[in-house]
Chains A and B, each alone.
Chain A
Amino acid sequence: MTWSTVAPVISAAFLASLVEAVEAFTIVLAVATLRGWRPAAIGTIGGLAVLAGTILLLGPVLDPVPVASLQLAIGILLLLFGMGWLRKASLRLAGVIPLHDEEAAFAAETAQLDQQAQRRQQNLQWVAGITALKAVLLEGLEVVFIVIAVGAGRGLLMPASLGALAACALVLVIGAVVHRPLSRVPENLLKFGVGVMLSAFGVFWTGEGLGIAWPGQDFALLLFATLFLAAGLSGASLARRVSAEVVL
């Protein structure tokens, strides 16, 4: 296990998890602000428990799968997932779609919970707990996929998990200190970077799964990442030009 192999895996898992953890934290914070920390904590723990169960179930299922098939399946999923993120981040960079705003997401979630309180139709603590659980579960699923995707192909699940855990711990610590949505995290920049890395991993794993021996082995990832970065920036530049032409 060399640093050149492990570093891209850890950084991809860390950065992707950072984005997802910030989004989940915003919703959990909205729940805690309106309904107290108890339902927020119970929902969060519930979501984490379901995620842990998913990982424990998936691990043994993936073990007997031949490496080439695993690389091919994961590579294709990574390509679709990574290029989806990169496409969205490019459109946001070009100003075609608005940037994700944690303050706005917090306000929307708070308003929704407030509306439910006014209607008094359901047990509010229950609704708040389920809201927190859903947030952790839905954002966490992406983290689980990314960890498995970047780690499973080469038996690097542990470093990938550590990268993801470090990101979640960082968000938790900063969130506990500032006690407000982490709106200053440059989310689109992170999504752009992660989209580049995941797309590069996607091409790499898919190729290996198809029996293609990339020249330079792991170093080919650097070339792929550079090309996806250039493609994302070119796409954003073209999109900006299209928007500008319409304004004129």
Chain B
Amino acid sequence: MTVLKEVVAELIGMFIAEKRLTTAVLAVVTVAGCLANFTDLDPLVGGSVMLIGCLVLLIESVWRSARADAA
């Protein structure tokens, strides 16, 4: 049972390294999906939003963690 619990915890931990980053990435993907599928814009606009959003979120997450560690 302990092994099973650890496996489940490992599986969850694989995708939720940091709750805020995970939530933000999911939000960006949702926005990109809406732009690509439910607007008249070129789908590439949605793709660009997702790509740039993820890059910005990554830098922000690393920077924020460093600040929290330094505080």
Contacts and interface: CB of A to CB of B under 8 A. Distances in A.
Interface of A: 76-77, 79-81, 83-88, 90-91, 94, 96-97, 130, 133-134, 137-138, 141-142, 145, 199, 202-203, 206-207, 210-215, 224, 227-228, 231-232, 234-236, 238-240, 242-243, 245-246
B66 A94 contact: yes
Contact of B43 (A76, A138, A213): A213
Contacts of A228: 54-55, 58
Given A81-B14, A96-B69, A137 B58 contact: no
Contacts of B6: 134, 138
A227 B51 contact: yes
A206 B50 contact: yes
A91 B16 CA distance: 16
Given A80-B17, A87-B65, 15 more contacts: A76-B26, A76-B29, A79-B29, A84-B17, A84-B18, A87-B18, A130-B3, A138-B6, A138-B7, A210-B32, A212-B43, A215-B44, A239-B65, A240-B66, A243-B69
A77 to B, nearest CB: 6
Interface of A is mostly: helix
B29 A206 contact: yes
Interface string B8-52: 001100111110011001100100110011000001101100110
Contacts of B16: 80, 84
B53 to A, nearest CB: 10
A214 B50 CA distance: 12
A232 B32 contact: no
Interface of B: 3, 6-7, 10-11, 14-18, 21-22, 25-26, 29, 32-33, 36-37, 43-44, 46-47, 50-51, 54-55, 57-59, 61-63, 65-67, 69-70
Contact of A210 (B3, B43, B51, B55): B43
Closest 6 CB pairs of A and B: A84-B17, A235-B62, A239-B66, A246-B70, A212-B47, A242-B66
A203 B54 CA distance: 8
Contacts of A87: 17-18, 21, 58, 61-62, 65
